[in-house]
Amino acid sequence: MRAYTAGDTDVPLLEETIGRNFERLVARFPFHDALIEAAAVPGGDARRWSYTKMNDDVDRLARALLASGVAKGERVGIWSPNCAEWTLLQYATAKAGAILVNVNPAYRSHELEFVVRQNGMRMLVAAPSDRNSDYVAMARQALAGCPDLQELVFLPDSGADGLDAGVPQDEAELTYAELLKRADAVGHSMLRERMAELDAHDPINLQYTSGTTGFPKGATLTHHNILNNGFSIGELLGYTEHDRVVIPVPFYHCFGMVIGNLAALSHGSATIIPGRGFTPAAALEAVQDFGGTSLYGVPTMFIAELALPDFGTYDLSTLRTGVMAGSVCPIDVMNRVISEMNMRDVAICYGMTETSPVSTMTRGGDTMQQRTETVGRTMPRLESQIIDPGSREVVERGEIGELCTRGYAVMAGYWAQPDKTAETIDADGWMHTGDLARMDEDGYVVIEGRIKDMVIRGGENIYPREIEEFLYTHPAIQDVQVIGVPDATYGEELMACIILKPGADGLDAAGLAEFCRGRLAHYKIPRYVDVRESFPMTVSGKIRKVEMREEAVARLGL
């Protein structure tokens, strides 16, 4: 049987804009919680928005954008860690027809200026500076060097670790409060007129790929792309107006913005922001304090939560579901999340920014094996196939090849880069993911790694994930990533990069080899071991294996 599946088609796609969809939910659940931001300082008050209050604030911000002269299709950037204003701007730009540009909070000056220039950004909404990033100074530098950028808007200090709320220095700078005052000059009728001009297939969001190699590319996403993907995820998670979704993953990435905000708010659920950035304690406190029914995270986040010394003291009894995504989840971690965190219906989501993002997902009724060893099956109204990277022919089920996705979720293209778009989306509309995968007889997909991460040792193709899953069974290993490093004899050799469990004794290559001997083929036993405190990551939680390889090559003198 060929490695091809098509998702269910019984639920029709939404043919409306994000703004119209949100207003439908406001009419249904006017007084339900829509948005909660946990207190920035201990003992402080959380900030809360009902659906009605959020809609009022979104409309005011949208009218302020219109008063600022922001036209349909112009780009408005948001460069900030998670906060309530991020969500409000997400929905305000959708109503105003502006294209929201998500800027990675980890970017520094040259990266920020690249993104601002690449899409001709008109306005940038920036966070106050904190101990990690001088957002204000870097935003001012971009304003001076990028002619299309006309205005900077500085968000208010969170009260936790903000150092500079960005006092305006000239007429091209204003505070968030000053931006909102502009709304007084624009009536509600003008906003309704703008919303009437919008089409569900208009571009509404630019998300720049992580840029783990080369310059990032701007994936152009429409209302139709991300609203339908978020809604479909919410449907499969069984979201209703009674759910309360805790979102510690970054909004700048599809995980927070689509799997989080759009999935929840298209179902009348509440969204809960634990803090500006991820800390394991804050995430669990948000579940406990606000009755979270769903919790999100990449596997390393769940590993950190489970490793808290006082993990057992948190009341997680309200949890029932959640999402793991970003990278492959170790089986042991998934089992602990289900049994110890009460997340019996937790789902694995797989995809990429260019597919809005989720293209395969596990379901609540799946077996434990399907939910721990696969990334699920094809999402409704999408197609999946696995092809031979060389011949591009569809392989048989059980064979490894490149996973491709087709359907409504595939991006409109890379912003102003038709050549890069053509390299990724073929003439038949298939998005080539660059991921190695296989499909089982029931249509479930198993990710074997990135094509570029596959290690070829002495002519043998080695898939790091297989070795990683085995090494997770070592009693001293908390987390592990396997990479390939150059070797004069075999072309490549394996290195196991390891984070040890607290209190575990050291582990060297000889000790690891002894653990593997007789249980792994000899060519799959790592030659090198690198014990680390952490792994380099993108903000979206993906391990930067490219950086780890570069570090290993330099350290070993290879």
Common-topology check for domains 17-199 and 455-556: no
What Rg value do the Cα atoms of the chain yield, rounded?
23
Partners of 175 in beta bridges: 154
- DSSP assignment of 359-411: EEE--TT--HHHHHHS--EEPTTEEEEEE-TTT--B-BTT--EEEEEEETTS-
pLDDT at 163: 45
CA distance 68 to 185: 10
CA distance 454 to 180: 51
Q: Crossing angle of helices 18-28/223-237, nearest 10°?
A: 40
pLDDT at 210: 61
Task: Decide if 449 contacts 456 (C-beta within 8 A).
Answer: no
Q: Could you tell me the two tokens for 291?
A: 């009755």
CA angle 537, 406, 379 (to 5 degrees): 75
Cα-based distances in Å from 71 to 26, 64, 97, 350 = 26, 12, 7, 35
Rounded to a whole number of angstroms, the distance between the first and last alpha carbons of the chain is: 44
- DSSP assignment of 172-209: TEEEHHHHHHGGGGS-HHHHHHHHHH--TTSEEEEEE-
Q: Which residues of the chain have pLDDT under 50?
A: 160-164, 211-213
Amino acid sitting at position 87: T
Q: Give me the architecture of the 455-556 domain, per CATH.
A: 2-Layer Sandwich (3.30)
Q: What is the pLDDT of residues 180-215, one digit of tens each?
A: 999 999 999 999 999 999 999 999 999 998 644 457
CA distance 207 to 347: 24
Q: What is the pLDDT of residues 249-289, one digit of tens each?
A: 999 999 999 999 999 999 999 999 999 999 999 999 999 99
SS3 of 262-300: the string is: HHHHCCCCEEEECCCCCCHHHHHHHHHHHCCCEEEECHH
Reported pTM: 0.86
In the chain, where are the structural domains located? 17-199, 455-556
Q: Per residue in 373-388, is it b (16+ CB within 10 Å) or e — as a string? A: bbbbbbbbbbbbbbbe
CA distance 464 to 458: 15
Partners of 75 in beta bridges: 99
pLDDT at 165: 54
Residue 31, classified by CB atoms within 10 Å of its CB into exposed (0-12), middle (13-18) or buried (19+), is exposed
Q: Which CATH number fits domain 17-199: 1.20.120.1200, 3.30.2080.10, 3.40.50.980, 2.40.50.140?
A: 3.40.50.980
Residue 247: how many CA atoms within 13 Å on its side-chain side? 35
Helix (H) or strand (E) segment spanning residue 422:
helix 418-424
Sheet strands side by side (includes 413-414): 173-175, 151-154, 123-126, 75-79, 99-102, 203-208, 218-222, 413-414
* Residue (of 450, 443, 433) closest to 376 by Cα position: 443
Cα-based distances in Å from 65 to 43, 62, 196, 367 = 34, 5, 16, 48
Amino acid sitting at position 477: I
pLDDT at 108: 86
Sheet strands side by side (includes 347-351): 47-50, 33-37, 270-273, 244-246, 294-297, 321-324, 347-351, 358-361, 377-378
pLDDT at 214: 58
The backbone torsions φ and ψ at residue 166, rounded to the nearest 5 degrees and listed phi first, read 80, 65
Q: Could you tell me the two tokens for 349?
A: 């989501």
CA distance 274 to 331: 26
Q: Could you tell me the two tokens for 440?
A: 């089982």
